[in-house]
């Protein structure tokens, strides 16, 4: 799936690939780079599991906008 994004210049359209479930992506949170696995895809974002909290005994998940990640190849 691809998403059309409009650039700053009028008429400029950029196509960007969206991640699929199971893809590994990289993104930044609080100035740190993270890598995680996509567990869900929404219209404007993906749900990502990027670690595990031993203290809470649950996975670390976050939501990342399509514009704010890169798919790792």
The long-range contacts involving 9-16, CB below 8 angstroms and separated by at least 24 positions, are: 16/66, 16/67
pLDDT of 16 reads 73
Count the neighbouring beta carbons within 10 Å of the beta carbon of residue 20.
11
d(CA 15, CA 21): 19
pLDDT of 17 reads 81
The CATH number of the domain covering residues in 19-71 = 2.30.30.430
pTM of the model: 0.77
Sheet bearing 32-41, strands edge to edge: 58-65, 45-53, 32-41, 24-29, 69-71
* Grouped pLDDT means (10 residues each) for the chain, 73 residues: 56 75 95 96 96 96 96 89
pLDDT of 39 reads 97
All structural domains of the chain with their residue ranges? 19-71
pLDDT of 10 reads 58
């Amino acid at each position: 799936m691809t998403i059309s994004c409009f650039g700053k210049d009028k008429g400029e359209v950029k196509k960007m690939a969206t991640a699929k479930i199971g893809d590994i992506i990289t993104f930044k949170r609080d100035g740190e780079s993270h890598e995680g696995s996509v567990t869900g895809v929404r219209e404007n974002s993906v749900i990502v599991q990027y670690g595990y909290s031993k203290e809470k005994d649950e996975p670390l998940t976050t939501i990342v906008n399509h514009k704010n990640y890169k798919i790792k190849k």
